[in-house]
A and B are shown apart, each in its own frame.
Chain A
Amino acid sequence: MLTTWSPTSLSPARRSELRGWLLLAVGSLAIAGILALLLGLSRTPGAQDWLPWGPHFFYRALVTHVVLSVVVWYLASLGALSVLAASAGNGGDRLGWTGLLLGAAGVILLLIPALADQGEPSLNNYVPVVGHPLFYVGLGLHALGVAIAALRPLALLWRLPRRPVPFAIACAALTYLAALACFLLAWTLIPAGTDPDLFNERVFWGGGHVLQILNTLILMIAWQVLSEREFGTGPVPAGLANAGFAALALFAVASPLVYWLGGDVLGLGHRQIFTRLLWVGLPLPPLVMGAGLALRLLRGPRNWRSPAFLSLALSLVVFAIGGFAGFFLGVADTRTPSHYHAVIGGVQLGLMGLILVVILPLLGRRLGEGRAGRLQFHLYGWGQLIHALGFFLAGTAGVPRKTTGLDQGLDTLWKKVSMGVVGMGTGLAVLGGVIFVWMALARLLRRGEGGHD
């Protein structure tokens, strides 16, 4: 029941497509990383006074950073995973390439408004936007491209025997399509003339929650694949892993029903029912698999020099702490980004491991034995933890989220020190992210296959 990917199991067309999705994913992360460094500095006491940009740059940069790093990065990675789970054939190849081209064109379009200093930024939850037609068209094209590619693994949902990784990818594809359905339902149900800020918030609210299920599935796929690679077996028995994947997909598929059951799409009840989705639907499957993974890690062998082991261990710790912090959130202070950055950091660590340790070698672009591979996991993992800790401490003191400069109201030593800790963690995490992007891009951009260092 182990995953049997090998370089020879992929046709040349599939290898090219896989490389394309990875370039789109990692390239988007590279741009997001540059923006993250600037954002972190602009929130660090002392450093913020030295930056030449005003609040408009901050907000457009923040929107662009978030969309690239928590939407495009994961969706393009789903596109890459769909290549690995799609059955062979020209039809699948055509769908994949169509999806990839649309997905890439969408990213280029959605970058234009921010770079051209056009459109009103909106910091609505999950998928913030720059209010410009090109941004919406770009976002829509990207979403459509990934949806086309994600159609391919769906047949695996009912194919027997169910091997955990292909089945999980199929569940992730189904979850993504459910999120798209939520976006479209919200779009059609929100009355014309609704204030743009409220429109953006409610269009992306339900589907945004479903995307968190997708992100969790991506982490669990990484845990499954890396555990098989490191320990020769998954974190939990195959049947239990499949049940966990199916359970998450079940909540995703049921989510569009909320648009009929949850009352007015602009009402408070509608908002709250999706908040409850994350409380009720999300924790159990990763908790079960995470517990199994913790036991595997404790039993060993514990090879701290292995990138797969580091990715597994750090992603588990960061994700678990972030998830726990989610039960202690305030209304609109920095405890929310503390929770979110830690859980998403855990997902990032898993996905980074999956790409470096497993997917790049499938393209003949191995990581090698260098120290940089291990260093990037430590820097990113511990950096995210410090960053999240700082945000949590600042949030308990009432520092509002999504603000900068004087708006943060850093009027006590506690607040200043906490946000200083945020800046320090940001610096470490960005450094880890830069190393990852450097290592992945250097290998992806290299002509020909088979080389490594």
Chain B
Amino acid sequence: MTERRGFAPIALVLASLLLLLTWLGGHGWEPTLAVESYAVDSAAFTARFEAQLAAHATGETIGTMSVVRPPPGDVVVRVRRWEFSPALELRPGQTYRLHLLAEDVVHSAAIGDAEELLVPGVVKVVTLVTPPSGRVRIQCGEYCGLGHTKMIGSIEIVR
């Protein structure tokens, strides 16, 4: 009985030490978005954004945001308090490359459980293969002000 009482505390401390080493030494536990990045001039990015709007806007809006239906390939997404703009309509089963730029402060793009930090001045390119139907949820995961929890992008899959 005495031995059993003596073993349990040691086992608990040893298990905790092991967990501590795992914690401090652990990397890559969280899923990450496969990204490329490049620096960009804000004016140049805005010009690309406007060009995309002119070429692919559907004429509809969600709130104050224009809805855009771009072809598969590169898509420009402006990220700022508290929106991912524009609202996107994408085709199912296609590959898109979302070029995300934070324009004001640090934000993040969380898609599913994976996340990437977005720092002003640096474009992050996220490759997205669209599902057969439904919506893709893209959301800010870095606290960026009172509207942070509402900062959810609109990506709808349409045929």
B62 within 8 A of A: no
A280 lies within 8 A of B23 (CB): yes
Contact B13 A246 (CB under 8 A): yes
A401/B149 in contact, CB under 8 A: yes
Give chain A nearest CB distance to B150 CB in angstroms: 6
Q: Which residues of A contact B117 (CB under 8 A)?
A: 267-268
Chain A residues near B108 (CB, 8 Å)?
268
Least CB separation from A274: chain B residue:
B23
A47 partner residues in chain B, CB cutoff 8 A: none
Task: Give the distance to chain A from B95, nearest Cβ to Cβ, in Å.
Answer: 24
Query: Which B residues between 106 and 131 are near A, CB-CB below 8 angstroms?
Result: 106, 108, 110, 115-117
A243-272 CB contacts (< 8 Å) to partner B: 243-244, 246-247, 250-251, 254, 257-258, 261, 266-269, 271-272
Interchain CB contact (< 8 A) of B24 among A124, A254, A266, A268:
A254
Determine if B15 is an interface residue (Cβ-Cβ < 8 Å): yes
Does B105 reach chain A (CB closer than 8 Å)? yes
Contact A247 B143 (CB under 8 A): no
Chain A residues within an 8 Å CB radius of B105? 195, 197-198
Closest-by-CB residue of A relative to B110 is: A331
Does chain A have a CB within 8 A of B59?
A: no
- Contact between B24 and A261, CB atoms less than 8 A apart: yes
Q: Please give the distance in Å from A251's CB to the nearest CB on chain B.
A: 6
Residues of B within 8 A of A121 (CB): 146
A240 x B20 contact (CB < 8 A): no
Q: Which of the residues A195, A247, A277, A285 comes within 8 Å of B106, measured between beta carbons?
A: A195
Give the tally of cross-chain contacts (CB within 8 A): 111
Query: Cβ of B5 and Cβ of A197 under 8 Å apart?
Result: no
Of B10, B12, B16, B142, the residue contacting A251 (CB under 8 A) is B16
User: Quick check: A243 and B13 within 8 Å, CB to CB?
Assistant: yes
Distance (whole angstroms) from the CB of B26 to the closest CB of chain A: 6
In the bound complex, residues from chain B placing their C-beta under 8 Å from that of A236 are 8
The answer to whether A281 touches B24, judged by C-beta atoms less than 8 angstroms apart, is no
Asked whether A244 and B12 contact (CB < 8 A) given A237-B5, A331-B141, A332-B141, the answer is: yes
Using CB atoms, name the residue of chain A closest to B27: A269
Pairwise interchain contact B149-A276, C-beta atoms closer than 8 A: no
Task: Determine whether B144 belongs to the interface, using a CB cutoff of 8 Å to chain A.
Answer: yes
Contact A284 B146 (CB under 8 A): no
Residues on A with beta carbons closer than 8 Å to the beta carbon of B27: 269
Q: Are A402 and B144 CB-contacts (below 8 A) given A242-B9, A246-B13, A284-B12? A: no
Q: Which chain B residues border A333 with CB–CB below 8 Å?
A: 149
Number of interface residues of B (CB under 8 A): 38
Q: Please report the C-alpha to C-alpha distance between residue A247 and residue B5 in the assembled complex, in whole angstroms.
A: 17
Closest partner residue, chain B, to A258 (CB atom): B24
User: For the complex, is A106 an interface residue (Cβ under 8 Å from B)?
Assistant: no
B17 beta carbon closer than 8 Å to chain A: yes
- The verdict on A403 contacting B116 (CB below 8 Å), with A125-B143, A250-B16, A280-B23 known, is no
Contact with A along B16-38 (1 / 0, CB 8 A): 11011011101101100000000
User: Which B residues touch A122, using CB under 8 A?
Assistant: 145-146
With A268-B117, A288-B12 given, is the CB distance from A197 to B145 under 8 Å?
A: yes
CA distance A257 to B19 in the complex (A): 15
Q: What residue in chain A is nearest B116 (Cβ atoms)? A: A268
| Distance between Cα atoms of A285 and B11 in the complex (Å) | 12
The docked-state distance in angstroms from the alpha carbon of A171 to that of B66 is 56
Say if the beta carbon of B148 comes within 8 Å of chain A. Answer: yes
The answer to whether B144 and A197 have CB atoms under 8 Å apart is yes
| A411 on interface, CB distance cutoff 8 Å | no
Listed from nearest, the 8 A-B pairs whose CB atoms lie closest are A243-B9, A247-B16, A400-B149, A201-B143, A239-B9, A243-B12, A195-B105, A280-B23
A-B contact pairs, 15 of them (CB 8 A): A123-B143, A123-B146, A195-B105, A197-B148, A198-B143, A198-B144, A201-B142, A240-B12, A250-B20, A271-B142, A272-B29, A280-B20, A284-B19, A331-B139, A400-B152
